Amino acid sequence: MADLAGNPGPRSRPQFRNIHVSQISQYRLPLAGFVSILHRVSGALMFLVGLPFILYLLQQSITSEISFESYRAVVSHWFAKLVLLALIWAYLHHFCAGIRYLLLDVHVGVEKGQARTSAATVLGVSLALTLVVFRTSSRWVYYEAETPGR
């Protein structure tokens, strides 16, 4: 009957197959999917690493002068700075991606091109804000450490 109406008939639908673990490195994830995975990773990082670490630093900074010196020693170590940088990125990426998902929930930017642009914007803005916040906080910590009279 489709032949009588001039239609060539139903088109064949694309087949989606499950990929094997060995094929994961060859699979190309779209940018929006990459942002989605990073959103989940940043949330887990903040909860599992960030919360205990930040609470420990808070306790060390407000207990006594001796514990404050311990706090300064911990924060001045290169590994602690790396962890703080990762936590700053996790917070800012999670925040920016959360705003993107709230806009997607109200059907703003759901077209393919707009979604790709918003995903790239989230990555760019979160990385730029991370650098700004980390540089600003590093200057503040060094300023506090160099201030005489403490």
Name the pLDDT band for 126 (thresholds 50, 70, 90).
Answer: very high
Q: For residues 30 and 116, is the Cβ–Cβ distance under 8 A?
A: yes
Among candidates 59, 42, 49, which has minimal Cα distance to 79? 49
Looking at every residue in the chain, the average pLDDT score rounds to 87
The residue-averaged pLDDT of 110-124 equals 96
pLDDT digits (tens, 9 = 90+) for 45-55: 999 999 999 99
Indicate the residue type of 111.
E
Enumerate domains of the chain plus CATH numbers: 30-146 (1.20.1300.10)
pLDDT of residue 145: 53
Task: Give the orientation angle of helix 31-45 with respect to helix 78-105, to 10 degrees.
Answer: 130
With 0-12 / 13-18 / 19 or more C-beta atoms within 10 angstroms meaning exposed / middle / buried, residue 94 is buried
CA 75 to chain centroid = 22
CA distance 119 to 116: 5
pLDDT of residue 118: 97
pLDDT of residue 17: 72
Residue 115 has pLDDT above 80, yes or no: yes
DSSP state of 55: H
